[in-house]
Amino acid sequence: MKFTAQITVMPLKELLDPQGKAVTESLHKLGLSGLDNVRVGKHITLQVEAASEAEAKANTEEACKKLLVNAVMESYEYTLTAI
Amino acid sequence: MKFTAQITVMPLKELLDPQGKAVTESLHKLGLSGLDNVRVGKHITLQVEAASEAEAKANTEEACKKLLVNAVMESYEYTLTAI
């Protein structure tokens, strides 16, 4: 079975996000004053080939924990869609 | 009215994504051979203060076009949620 995984990795809410802060200020300088609290993270899509949805989930989690996410500074969530 | 915008910015499908390719290879080296076709983009959350949902949409679009998205190389989609 093949799945598409959509993974969103964001800086933890408790931490400052300097990139987001810079973007917020740039938006204000562009005159977009109604926009605030920007936070910038990563969005990762990948294809998972696995025998079952449970195996696909396990593989995706492993990829997140081993490579894609720095658990000290980031949180993640993902969805799997069969294709 | 206040809204949360969730914006996903991804490299265009037609273009190579070197970062995604590097991640794919790293996953394979880690023994996760069932994972493929990694593409890496950005996920941006922000808060929008606007008089109506239509205005919030217009502001979000403007932010994407003026600052957040490089339309030559990237596509974007977003959702707005009232808070």
State the complex-level ipTM. 0.91
pLDDT digits (tens), chain A, 83 positions: 999 999 999 999 999 999 999 999 999 999 998 999 999 999 999 999 999 999 999 999 999 999 999 999 999 999 999 99
The residues spanned by each domain of chain A are 2-82
Gap from A52 CA to chain B (nearest CA, Å): 12
Residues 6 or more apart whose Cβ sits within 8 Å of residue B4? B45, B46, B47, B48, B80, B81, B83
Q: Is B32 on the interface with A (CB under 8 A)?
A: yes
Is B27 close to A63, i.e. CB distance below 8 A?
A: yes
The topology under which CATH files domain B2-82 is: Mth169; Chain: A , (3.30.1280)
